Structure 1
């Protein structure tokens, strides 16, 4: 457990932060955003972008690679999408003051994919020979 937290500590803390924010009751009418329509989707996308970058960074550190390998990227994608689905199920079943929206899961998927892509591009740029 200690070694897991060593590599994935920032991602775990960010995931807990996301879970807490997704559990807080907010007073916004259905179909409206906090500041504008679609604000909730943008927030989900940003949350999962940051989470995927932190999780991929932990994977790179754990496996001592210079960039994220495809099998690690696939595993990270599955873990992140499962976490997004868990949040939506919790919002619809446990946090009854929130609504579980599958469009939020799509926003989570887009954010996670963007984060993994950003890590891949950044890793390739850093490790390329000129």
Structure 2
């Protein structure tokens, strides 16, 4: 457990932060955003982009690689999408003041994919100069 937190500590803390924010009641009517329509989807995308980058960085550190390998990227994708689905289920079943939404899960998927892609591109750019 200690070694897991050593590598994935920032990602775990960010995931808890995301869970807390997704559980807080917000007084916004269905179909409207806090600031504009679609704001909620943008926030989900950003949350999962950051979570993805932190999780991939932990994987790179744990496996001592210079860049994220495809099998690690696939595993990370499954973990992140499962976490996004868990949040949506919790929002629809447990946090009854919130609503689970397939579009939120899609935004989570897009954010996670963007984060993995950003880590791949950044890793390749850094390693091509060496």
Give the corresponding residue for 2:73: 73
Cα shift at 1:85: 0.1
- Alignment deviations for residues 70-93 of structure 1 (CA, whole Å, 9 cap, x no partner): 000000000000000000000000
1:28-79 Cα shifts (integer Å, max 9, x gaps): 0000000000000000000000000000000000000000000000000000
**1:26 match:** 26
User: Aligned equivalents of 2:129 and 2:53: distance in 1?
Assistant: 23
Find runs of 4+ consecutive structure 1 residues off by over 6 angstroms: none
User: 1:129, 1:75 → 2: CA distance?
Assistant: 27
Give per-residue Cα distances to partners, 1:80-109, cap 9 Å, x unaligned.
Answer: 000000000000000000000010000000
For residues 11 and 69 of structure 1, the distance between their equivalents in structure 2, rounded to whole angstroms, comes to: 18
Q: Residues of 2 paired with 1:129 and 1:17: CA distance?
A: 36
The equivalent residue for 1:42 is 42
Residue in 1 aligned with 2:128? Answer: 128
Report the Cα distance in structure 2 between the residues aligned to 1:51 and 1:43, rounded to whole angstroms. Answer: 12
SS class of match (1:29): coil
CA distance in 2, matches of 1:116, 1:19: 20
TM-score (norm 1): 0.99
Question: Alpha-carbon deviation of 1:129?
Answer: 4.0
Structure 1: state its 5+ residue gaps.
none
